């Protein structure tokens, strides 16, 4: 497992890679300050060949539009490769934001445990 922290320590990505499938736990606050680290984490995984990424957001305390932009950018990149981006276990606050932006209405996938928003396509 690899851990990628933000410079200010308010956010980190913990990564577990299993062949072409990856689980990324997002922990802390995903905002304009930490979004670049999240984006770089996902970009690195794509360069390493990951085509299916599950994002465990159960420990995500805060999410703003900068973080949402990274979700959408990498959803599109993975879809172009025939892959998927799956959101797992959103907190109530995160679920409301995903719902308000239309993410919760996207195609669902079998949850890996807990509540899943499904594949972002």
Could you tell me whether strands 84-88 and 11-18 are parallel, antiparallel, or unpaired per DSSP bridges?
Answer: unpaired
Q: pTM, whole model, 2 decimals?
A: 0.77
Query: For residues 96, 98, 99 and 100, what is the CA-based torsion angle, rounded to 10 degrees?
Result: 80
CB 62 within 8 A of CB 85: no
Q: pLDDT by residue (tens digit) across 28-40?
A: 999 999 999 999 9
> Residue 24: is its pLDDT beyond 90?
yes
Alpha-carbon separation of residue 59 from 34, 46, 49, 72 (angstroms): 15, 23, 26, 20
Higher pLDDT, residue 121 or 97? 97
* Distances, alpha carbon 113 to alpha carbons 79, 86, 109, 119, in Å: 23, 12, 11, 14
DSSP H or E stretch at residue 24 = strand 21-30
112 — pLDDT class (breaks 50, 70, 90): very low
Question: What are the extents of the domains in the chain?
Answer: 2-119
pLDDT score recorded for residue 40: 92
The answer, yes or no, to whether residue 114 has pLDDT greater than 50, is no
Task: Indicate the fold that domain 2-119 takes in CATH.
Answer: Transcription Regulator spoIIAA (3.30.750)
| Residue pLDDT, tens place only, 73-104 | 888 888 888 888 888 888 777 777 777 776 65
């Amino acid at each position: 497992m690899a851990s990628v922290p933000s410079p200010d320590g308010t956010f980190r990505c913990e990564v577990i890679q299993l062949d072409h499938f990856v689980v990324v736990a997002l922990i802390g606050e995903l905002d304009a300050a930490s979004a670049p680290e999240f984006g770089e984490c996902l970009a690195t995984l794509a360069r390493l060949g990951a085509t299916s990424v599950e994002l465990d957001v159960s420990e995500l305390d805060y999410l703003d539009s900068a973080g949402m932009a990274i979700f959408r950018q990498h959803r599109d990149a993975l879809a172009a490769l025939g892959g998927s981006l799956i959101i797992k276990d959103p907190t109530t606050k995160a679920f409301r934001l995903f719902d308000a932006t239309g993410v919760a209405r996207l195609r669902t996938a079998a949850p890996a445990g807990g509540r899943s928003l499904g594949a972002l396509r």
